[in-house]
Amino acid sequence: MQSSMEKSFPLHECHVNKVTIIINRTHAILHSIAILLLIHYRLSFFFQHPQNITIPTLPWLLIFVSELILSFAWFLQQACRWRPVYRTVFPERLAADDKLPAIDVFICTADPNKEPSVEVMNTVISAMALDYPPENLHVYISDDAGSDATLRCTKEAWNFAKYWVPFRRKYGLVTACPDVYFSSSENDNGDYKGSEFKAERKKMEEKYEVLKQRLRKIVEGHFPTNVAINNTRDHPSVIEVINKEEDEVKIPQLIYVSREKRPSHNHNFKAGALNVLLRVSAMISNSPYILALDCDMYCNDPTSARKAMCFYCDSQTPSLAFVQFPQTFRNISQDDIYDNQVRFAFKVHWYGFDGVGGPIISDYMSLKRLFGPSNDFIKTLVEDYKPCFIKDGESSRMSLENANILASCSYENQTVWGSKVGFLYFSVAEDYFTGLNLHRKGWKSVYLNPERLQFLGTSTTNFNDSLIQWTRWTSGPVTVALSRFCPLIYGPLKMSLVQLLCYSELAFMPLLNCLSLWGFAVIPQLCLFNGIPLYPKVSDPNFNIFSIILVSSISKSLYEVVTTGEQFKVWRNEWRIWMMRSVTSYTYGCLDVILNKLGMKEATFLPTNKVTDDEQVKLYEMGVFDFRTATMFLAPLVTVILINIAAFVGAVVKALVVDDDGDQYWEKMFGQMFLTFFILISNFAVIEGMIIRRDKAKIPLSSTLWSVVFSMFILLIGSVILC
């Protein structure tokens, strides 16, 4: 009877939006035709008779290359628009709680100075409060700093969770994170509104205030010296199971893990920490599934684990590797000037990725050569192996000893951890590279974005942290793009064409954007400054080609913004921050990869700063840029704006004052003048921060002066070379 019901009522459904597919594919075909006409126009220049060529060849070639690069980037983006799918799950149709598989939750923290303990512990508590059988839920917190303060905070979080988890279950609260629950204006009282609930809620809120005070005191009392900072790179492994055997309240198991780190060993950043958690958890809980969370990404929907299980418990998806939820943030302002919500990725890109399948997985080789010398760990690889950690005290002690060995910095020596097993180390973007290899081996994944946001985190609220974060996000995929693992050569015959192009777009996007944007932001402007036309006259029929491509690109991006529920200002902000990132974060991220490939620089990983500054948050919420960032970021950005100002002002003066036939000049140079004006008006915030604003967050005078020198140098050298 149960099996027939399972067949009649599926656990999940996949929906294909045919209207969206038709619009996307029609636009792709029409836009491709326009690009081909542009290529024909540019190429015909080189086949003219030398006597008819009045424009220097070099600038024409450079702008043509920039157009080809941007066109290739556009072509790769069409893969994620080819067949977007949307999914619905039915967790109420899952089997009984005692039949649900176990889950290990992995939470990684790396720097207590940049990741506030109150936020980290809220993530831990929310994970423990998931609507899932407590005996089948185990929460692991990885402390890569080896901080005693984090261990003590974890114990405090567990003490609070003993009261919070039963309270949330008893009253059916839909908010699992205590900080959000007590600070939210929404009425989340479950099914209760009586005096008993109000009294318990008040007591719980008082306990939470005590918890916050204790966490802050622990952190404040721990960091006056430099001891903890030194220990982040040199400390032994520490593994501690926080739960006590005599606990009467049934709550999930909480385990603190700090792997051994020594200056002489490569710790492989976050991927290394996750692989240690894989091995340690195998000795303690050995759950078949894991839920990986950032330390500030709390569980917003207690049913998220059950929703993921709707795919894993379905016999129709046996080769499913992972379920991906969107990464959303709770501190996004109405005017999201830094595009922190990353709308394109989570509301467009992943839906297209989800429409792609793959073949089967490959076999294992010798277990010890793969997984290391631990016999106890090898035992955990057997299906349905259950550690005897909780039942037997002596076994528990021995399991912890073995787990400490698995967390040592030398355990992975002479094994293939990080290259064939676990999270892969080749790139600092371990999620991208591991996902690429899983899909290449035939595993599948799904993207689930329910109406209620499943996980919420804290985004950056200032320009500096945003640019640093995107520089790091850039270097990971570009490292893969410029290697033997490049999807274009690593994926064929192993992946479908659409999936291959999706991964290629992610890998090459920063490199293609920075190269093309530097071309469009400098080459036409230098030619405009020197009176060299690069685009057809307005009266020339070929001018329509460029007009169509521009209107097509803007219309399609604006359509996607509107259909994903956003407003016009989101489109404006995305366009502006794309240009800003291209000449800053993407450029430095790509340069970092190139220097690393040449052996001139080692790969680095800088955790995103999660500590909020009230003044910076206020500016962000007002929609005002905070330009208090390094000159290395401001200099290229301001230099580009100054070059565009000089070119546009010079062209206007020449058309109105110098040139006798102003109308002909306007017609000849309109394309470049429009492009220059569009860049300036889109980035007016930079001009405002450089010239108009007088507050502390304006662009420093020193950065402006350096940019003036750079822009004059580029104008001078560019005029000599291009003319």
Sign of CA dihedral 24, 30, 34, 35: positive
Question: Of 143, 144, 296, 465, which residue is the catalytic one?
Answer: 144
Q: Is residue 107 part of a domain?
A: yes
Structural domain contains residue 593: no
CA gap 439, 321 in Å, rounded: 8
Q: Give me the amino acid identity at 659.
A: D
**pLDDT score for 367:** 40
Residue 253 has φ and ψ, to the nearest 5°, of -70, 140
- Tell me whether residue 131 is one of the annotated catalytic residues: no
Residue 545 covered by a domain? no
Q: Which of 431, 540, 613, 659 is catalytic?
A: 431
Binding residue ranges: 114-115, 144, 270, 294
Residue matched to tokens 């291009």:
722
Between CA 126 and CA 140 the distance in angstroms is: 13
264-323 per-position pLDDT tens digit: 888 888 888 888 898 898 888 888 898 988 888 999 999 999 999 998 888 777 778 888
| Calpha distance 356→349 (Å, rounded) | 12
Q: If you search the block for the tokens 């929907």, which residue do you land on?
A: 301
Beta strand pairing call for 328-329 and 455-457: parallel
Which residues belong to the annotated binding site for Mn(2+)? 270, 294
Contacts of 165 (CB under 8 A, 6+ apart): 125, 128, 129, 134, 249, 251, 252
Sequence-distant (6+) residues with CB within 8 A of 426 are 419, 433, 479, 480, 483, 485
CB 624 within 8 Å of CB 333: no
Tokens read off for 70: 């941007």
CA distance 257 to 188: 34
Q: Is there a domain that residue 212 lies in? A: yes
Give me the pLDDT at residue 62, please.
95
- Cα–Cα nearest to 463, from 638, 605, 295, 289: 638
Q: Is 648 part of a structural domain of the chain?
A: no
Token pair in block for residue 149: 């303060």
Cα dist. 139→69, 101, 103, 426 in Å? 46, 15, 9, 27
- Judge residue 88's burial from the number of C-beta atoms within 10 Å of its C-beta, 0-12 exposed, 13-18 middle, 19 or more buried: middle
Domain that holds residue 403: 102-287+375-416
Q: Which residues of the chain have pLDDT under 50?
A: 1-6, 223-230, 358-362, 364-370, 391-392
Strands 12-16 and 103-109: unpaired
CA-closest candidate to residue 156, choices 237, 220, 210: 210
Residue 605, judged by CB atoms within 10 A of its CB (0-12, 13-18, 19+), counts as middle
Alpha-helical (H) ranges within 487-613 are 487-490, 497-529, 543-563, 568-583, 585-597
Q: Which residues pair with 108 in a beta bridge?
A: 142, 294
The Cα–Cα gap between 307 and 659 comes to 68
Residue 108 lies in a domain: yes
For the chain, what is the radius of gyration of the CA atoms?
28
- Residue type (1 letter), 305: A
On whether residue 189 sits in a domain, the answer given is yes
Say if CB 355 and CB 83 are below 8 A apart. Answer: yes
Phi, psi of 345 (to 5 degrees): -65, -50
- The encoded tokens of residue 670 equal 């309109």
Strand partners, 294: 108
Question: Which residues are annotated binding-site positions for UDP-alpha-D-glucose?
Answer: 114-115, 144
Query: How do residues 596-607 score in pLDDT, each as one tens digit?
Result: 888 877 666 555
| Alpha-carbon gap, residue 235 to 143, rounded angstroms | 11
The CA-atom distances, in angstroms, between 640 and each of 67, 336, 435, 514, 547 are 18, 23, 36, 13, 24
Q: Exposure of 335 by Cβ count < 10 A (0-12 exposed, 13-18 middle, 19+ buried)? A: middle
Residue 154 lies in a domain: yes
φ/ψ (deg, to 5) at 566: -105, 175
Contact 161, 251 (CB under 8 A): yes
User: Can you say how many angstroms the Cα of residue 71 is from the centroid of all Cα atoms in its chain?
Assistant: 24
Give yes or no for a contact between 223 and 112, defined as CB atoms under 8 angstroms apart: yes
| The pLDDT value given to residue 387 | 67
Question: In what helix (H) or strand (E) does residue 103 lie, and over which residues does it extend?
Answer: strand 103-109
Measure the CA angle with vertex 205, ends 204 and 206; round to 5°: 90
The two beta strands, 320-324 and 455-457, are: unpaired
- Structure-token pair, residue 243: 């739960």
144 is catalytic: yes
Q: How many domains does the chain have?
A: 1
Helix, strand or coil for residue 468? helix
CB-based contacts of 536: which residues, under 8 Å, 6+ apart? 41, 542, 543, 545, 546, 671
